[in-house]
């Protein structure tokens, strides 16, 4: 999802090409890793969404390592030859808020990755398997989801190219008063 947002900036400004390639590698590797988690049997005792061991453990680990490691290796090998426009516009631009939102989306992805990988990490470290309850995801991703909502709301109010800092501060002041009136504590 973060890749879709940053490709808008790439299409409009010609920037973030390297970052978008990294996100594409990360997205495909996440798909392979999720296939590993469900098909290898490592989550068989802790998740209803996992199959028992189908004998694919080594092949799936190899796919994950080859595609993620190989993708990063190729990206770093060609890093200097990937031409990207230098973008040094204001922090009060829509592009900045799209980029910030994509970073928060990536952070949510890493929280989910950490939670679903906990039984695998326990198995590697020789600890008893623990199952992450849904409350973990609710507590950790709710503040990040609120951040996404605020970034989206502010991003919609900012002009595409650049916005004046005073306009943004007025918008933020209005939003904070509105939220305070909604839930006074």
Helix residue ranges per DSSP H, the chain? 2-13, 17-39, 57-77, 94-125, 134-157, 165-182
Residues 48-54: contacts with CB within 8 Å, 24+ apart? none
Q: Quick: pLDDT tens for 133-173.
A: 889 988 999 989 988 888 877 777 775 545 566 666 777 77
- Whether residue 68 has pLDDT greater than 90: yes
- The pair phi, psi for residue 50, each rounded to 5°, is -110, 145
pLDDT greater at residue 115 or residue 129? 115
Q: What is the pTM of this model?
A: 0.73
The answer to whether 41 and 53 are in contact (CB under 8 A) is yes
Q: How confident is the model at residue 87 (pLDDT cuts 50, 70, 90)?
A: low
The answer to whether 9 and 98 are in contact (CB under 8 A) is yes
Helix residue ranges per DSSP H, 40-133? 57-77, 94-125
- Whether residue 70 has pLDDT greater than 90: yes
2-13 and 94-125 helices cross at what angle (nearest 10)? 150
Q: Quick: pLDDT tens for 13-64.
A: 777 788 889 999 999 999 998 888 887 777 766 666 666 666 777 888 899 9
The answer to whether 25 and 71 are in contact (CB under 8 A) is yes
- Per-residue confidence (pLDDT) for residue 53, from 0 to 100: 65
- Per-residue confidence (pLDDT) for residue 66, from 0 to 100: 95
Give 149: exposed, middle or buried? Use CB within 10 Å, 0-12, 13-18, 19+. exposed
């Amino acid at each position: 999802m973060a890749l879709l947002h940053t490709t808008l900036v790439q299409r409009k400004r010609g920037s973030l090409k390297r970052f978008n390639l990294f996100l594409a590698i990360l997205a495909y590797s996440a798909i392979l890793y999720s296939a590993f988690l469900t098909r290898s049997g490592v989550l068989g005792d802790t998740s209803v969404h996992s199959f028992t061991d189908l004998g694919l453990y080594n092949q799936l680990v190899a796919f994950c390592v080859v595609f993620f490691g190989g993708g990063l290796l190729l990206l770093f090998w060609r890093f200097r030859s990937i031409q990207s426009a230098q973008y040094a516009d204001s922090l009060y631009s829509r592009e900045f808020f799209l980029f910030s939102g994509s970073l928060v989306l990536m952070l949510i992805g890493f929280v989910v990755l950490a939670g679903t990988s906990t039984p695998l990490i326990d198995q590697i470290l020789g600890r008893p398997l623990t199952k992450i309850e849904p409350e973990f995801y609710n507590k950790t991703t709710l503040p990040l989801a609120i951040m996404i909502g605020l970034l989206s709301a502010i991003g919609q109010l900012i002009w595409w190219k650049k916005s004046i800092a005073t306009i943004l501060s007025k918008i933020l002041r209005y939003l904070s008063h509105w939220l305070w009136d909604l839930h006074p504590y």
